[in-house]
Structure 1
Amino acid sequence: MVAAAALLVKSGERLVSNGKYEIVMHIQFTSTANEDGAALIVFSAQDLVLSEAAQRVDDASGGALRKAARAARFAGDLGKVVELLGIAGTEAQKVLLVGTGPQGRGNPAGFERIGAVIAGKLSRSGSTRTLVDMRGARDLGLDVSEAAARLATGLKLRGYAFDQYRTKMPEQQKVSLTDVEIVGAGDDAAPRFEILGAVADGVAFTKDLVSEPANVLYPESFVERVRALNIPGLKIEALDEAQMREAGMNAFLGVSQGSEREARMLVMEWDGTNGSADVETVFVGKGVTFDSGGISIKPGAGMEDMKWDMGGAGAVTGAMVALAKRKAKARIVGICGLTENMPDGKAQRPGDVVTSMSGQTIEVINTDAEGRLVLCDAMWWAQETYKPKRIIDLATLTGAMIISLGHHHAGVFSNDDDLAEKLIAAGAASGDKLWRLPVGEEYDKQIDSPIADMKNVGGRDAGSITAAQFLKRFVKDGVEWAHIDIAGMAWSSKPGALFDKGATGYGVRLLDEYVRSIYEG
């Protein structure tokens, strides 16, 4: 089975859900250019300032490249493309002239976008090989090695495809591009891409998890998928229901009791400090592998989308994969609360009262507000076990977040201004953007219960805020905490700059950038 999914820095294969392996795209940096049969990529800054490689093509073709650009009203704007087939003077199958924007004003994000544009154009085009010629790309605004590494990262991110269940896909729709050669990038491009590519591998793994159907990905198989990666230094353990029951995680287990699939709590630890540092930061992810709503069942239309209600756990897992693969100089723990939320004769009912691991009691008003019940016990266990300085949780928690921020930002809530500001800065740097919303005592009355310490919903008003306020009650004094609601960001119904429609991989680059800035800056 051949498909371009997760792209790797080195040759290899990628494990897919059915236990088979897929061939992956190979990206390499070379010093020689063999155009024969390749799709050739050359560049132009704004105002048709051609790179040396582009100028050579134009000269060899008798000016055909400039003529085509002018006919297409191409001016070299960032990510714009002119494509020529069978152009004279070159042995390339086709030539793509790609815009790099204003001279001297390039940036890493811009070159990632350029790589993504190339992937979008060529992945399913019939071309099997592309040659990216960066020789003589003029006045980029950053050094050519960084530009090339970022371009390769964009190619890798946008080149992801999840095709393994499409057995009758027409040949012309299949991913064809398997080899990418980048020439003229300098000696530093490959080591830079090795680090960036490791993060992109984490993003791809998150996309795999989020894309899988719930009959394939459930709590036990989620854990086994992570174990199967066998990444050196990434410690994996999982608590089963008996262990969680012994710990008193009755809020978490109340969600799982209607499912035939047993819950699991996945614990991942990466220590890039050789034991010299304590665990200061713990990531916690909501991992509801399918959310029917439970007894408070969701409408049937669109319920199939609830396979990605584990997007927070997917992001945390992908981030831990990224940190381990790039050997981050930090000690980080990632915890994922994994369960299904199903209706059954044994399922939790509206009106039930459960006692969380913290000892606080919760009146369950709506069984479809289940993510906070999973997170509150996972967060408390993390604090009891690791005594961390801070906890950052990610969850596809509320539909109200989509109403508030749409699909452009995730919402961040925090009890610490400095933590919130650093996360927002990491979001801006990584492209996983955040917008801060408030928490405060004035919202507490909405979740106060007449018969228990709290109830799990606070009504329609400020739904995302009251969900965050609920979680805040499970943060111990002195612990910095941030809650990131990614409900509008984990999945997209249309392509984005660095992803195709479907799973976006949101959160992996955000968490990686946060670790980089705090521990490795």
Structure 2
Amino acid sequence: MTTPAKLAYAASDLDAIAAFEGRIVVFSGSEGKLDPAARRVNRLSKGALERLVASETFKKLSAGKAIDLAFPAGMAAEAVQVVKLERNASVELSRKAGAAIGKSAGKHNVMIHAPLMKQADEIALGALLRAYGFNDHKSKESPKAGDITVVVKEPETHSATAVDALAQGVFFTRDLVSEPANILTTTEFATRLEALSDLGVKVEVLEEDQLEALGMRTLLCVGQGSVSPSKVVIMQWNGGGEEAPFALVGKGVVFDTGGISLKPAAGMEDMTMDMGGAGVVSGVMKTLALRGAKANVVGLVGIVENMPSGNAIRPGDVVKSMKGDTVEIINTDAEGRLVLADVLWYAQERFKPTGLINLATLTGAIIVGLGHENAGVFSNDDTLCNAFLKSAEAEIEGAWRMPLGKAYDDMLKSQVADMRNSCGRAAGSITAAQFLKRFVKDETPWIHLDIAGVAEVKKETALSPKGATGWGVLALNRLIADNYEV
């Protein structure tokens, strides 16, 4: 991947501007006022910056957008980037402004002069997130990204470590989601998560014989058509607190053909992202460890591959879950809920969590309903749900609450088993959530996040290039920081 090599904060040194050889970033609001750094750039460039901010082009520029002065006279810089942004800009606009910087950074070192910007940390985060690129499998080596230095009034009040921890968690998620399935096999996925132990995360991998002994037959049946072994990885981070942990559970289907209920060929290559829920859980755990979160959190991911073969699960089969309920398999392409059912139950039985959130690229139906702007949010607890929605809004990660109810639950009835795993197209995302709810204990506050529309996108977003977004890492980290840290 391509990411900035290092983020740092520094005090203002106007005399260093002339000799800096990378990209220099300055800001100006709608009135065209110049701060000290911008005035120094203006003098060095013989008034070019002042002419730019007075131009109709700059006046018509949207907030958060930028214009380059390439190879400015009197300076060693490759370019001066002028960002239109007010000093008290919102978090969203500040991150978008940072993204404009990160997108154009390329291989160059970048110096962002933001001593008067109240949202300097948000600008830095936006720059980091947008400078990312996944190019690990391109034969032509991509240029390494340069460093990003943010000039602020009081560098000691800013933490590059804290901002970088957020970015690194998002990058970890994006990397996992972007990897092809022949690289990110179930074994390789588990290996990458085991590496989090270097950061202080306690990592445990349950193999197929252990899963069989636990009775995780709904999870195991999904992977039985693949030569890749199914696994459950448990990541524990306890930075403080003696009470039961908050739990995150992720669906980790490294590739999903649909099994015997084979998906159409068109677009099947995109099913490398069907482990997006597990990717987000992994990214959150990395961020918590990197920033030393004073919280007790456990992340569990069920890692399987859904393939057709002579040993694959079939429509009409009946499988018994770890909970003890039986499931009639109507459609083998409704496999994610089978994986989650066992892991959700195991998480509650072992850890007795104070709250529980699962994530999955679960249904195409949620994309029909919400497009690529919002994840679907389903919950049995208003307090937890409202806290998450508040966190998602604060982090500019779209999320929309969807309904649950008995009428939808009744649709799961089966003639031959306790329930069926698929109820057809009508309310498809809701019946999937109702299925999962059957594996959540009444006393456990729970949220199901259907992230099928937001985990990976076909065009770039404000903070990410086309492809994996890392949606959810920031919102879940904030939820934990605001509600579960001691």
**TM-score in terms of structure 2 length:** 0.95
Name 1:242's counterpart in structure 2.
Answer: 209
Within-5 A mapping of 1:244-323 = 244-273=211-240, 276-323=241-288
* Cα separation, 2, equivalents of 1:272 and 1:481: 22
Name 2:25's counterpart in structure 1.
Answer: 41
Within-5 A mapping of 1:2-401 = 4-5=2-3, 7=4, 25-31=5-11, 32=13, 33-34=16-17, 35-71=19-55, 73-75=57-59, 77-101=62-86, 103=87, 105-123=88-106, 128-135=108-115, 137=116, 140=117, 142=118, 147-168=119-140, 174-175=142-143, 177-191=145-159, 193-273=160-240, 276-401=241-366
Q: Give the stretch that moved more between structures: 42-51 or 225-234.
A: 225-234
CA contact (8 A) 1:4 1:178 kept: no
Q: Residue 411 of structure 2 aligns to a residue in which SS?
A: helix
* Cα separation, 2, equivalents of 1:202 and 1:88: 40
Identity of paired residues, percent? Answer: 44
* Cα separation, 1, equivalents of 2:304 and 2:78: 50
Q: How many residues are matched?
A: 481
Q: Which amino acid aligns with 1:515?
A: I
Q: Which amino acid aligns with 1:133?
A: H
* Cα separation, 2, equivalents of 1:364 and 1:434: 30
Gaps of 5+ in 1: 8-24
Cα offset for 1:182?
2.3
Q: Does 1:451 align with 2:416?
A: yes
Cα distance change, pair 77–56 in 1 and its aligned pair in 2 (3 A): farther
Q: Residue 49 of structure 1 aligns to a residue in which SS?
A: coil
Cα distance change, pair 176–94 in 1 and its aligned pair in 2 (3 A): farther
Cα distance change, pair 347–107 in 1 and its aligned pair in 2 (3 A): same
Q: Which amino acid aligns with 2:79?
A: K
Q: Residue 208 of structure 1 aligns to a residue in which SS?
A: helix
CA contact (8 A) 1:132 1:183 kept: yes
* Cα separation, 1, equivalents of 2:301 and 2:144: 35
Residue-by-residue CA offset, 1:466-493 (whole Å, 9 max, x unaligned): 0000011111121111100000000011
Residue-by-residue CA offset, 1:367-387 (whole Å, 9 max, x unaligned): 000000000000011111111
Q: Which amino acid aligns with 2:131?
A: G
* Cα separation, 1, equivalents of 2:210 and 2:343: 13
Cα distance change, pair 420–270 in 1 and its aligned pair in 2 (3 A): same
* Cα separation, 1, equivalents of 2:354 and 2:45: 63
| Runs of at least 4 residues off by over 4 Å | none
Instruction: Give RMSD over aligned pairs.
Output: 1.7
Q: Does 1:506 align with 2:471?
A: yes
Q: Residue 421 of structure 1 aligns to a residue in which SS?
A: helix
Cα offset for 1:188?
3.3
Cα distance change, pair 118–446 in 1 and its aligned pair in 2 (3 A): same
Within-5 A mapping of 1:484-499 = 484-499=449-464
Q: Which amino acid aligns with 1:128?
A: H
CA contact (8 A) 1:231 1:325 kept: no
Cα offset for 1:27?
2.0
Q: Residue 378 of structure 1 aligns to a residue in which SS?
A: helix
Q: Does 1:465 align with 2:430?
A: yes
Q: Which amino acid aligns with 2:424?
A: G
* Cα separation, 1, equivalents of 2:438 and 2:470: 29
Cα offset for 1:299?
0.4
Cα offset for 1:460?
1.0
Q: Give the stretch that moved more between structures: 468-477 or 178-187.
A: 178-187
Cα distance change, pair 85–60 in 1 and its aligned pair in 2 (3 A): same
Residue-by-residue CA offset, 1:25-51 (whole Å, 9 max, x unaligned): 222222333543221111101121222
Name 1:432's counterpart in structure 2.
Answer: 397
Residue-by-residue CA offset, 1:422-445 (whole Å, 9 max, x unaligned): 110010011222100011111122
Match for residue 443 of structure 2 among 468, 475, 478: 478
Q: Which amino acid aligns with 1:161?
A: G
Q: Give the stretch that moved more between structures: 47-56 or 365-374.
A: 47-56
Cα distance change, pair 265–176 in 1 and its aligned pair in 2 (3 A): closer
* Cα separation, 2, equivalents of 1:442 and 1:470: 13
CA contact (8 A) 2:197 2:203 kept: no
Cα offset for 1:190?
4.0
* Cα separation, 2, equivalents of 1:245 and 1:185: 58
CA contact (8 A) 2:7 2:164 kept: no
Gaps of 5+ in 2: none
* Cα separation, 2, equivalents of 1:78 and 1:50: 16
Cα distance change, pair 239–176 in 1 and its aligned pair in 2 (3 A): closer
Cα distance change, pair 196–61 in 1 and its aligned pair in 2 (3 A): closer
Cα offset for 1:116?
1.0
**TM-score in terms of structure 1 length:** 0.89
Q: Give the stretch that moved more between structures: 181-190 or 324-333.
A: 181-190
Residue-by-residue CA offset, 1:98-129 (whole Å, 9 max, x unaligned): 1113x5x3233332222111011222xxx522
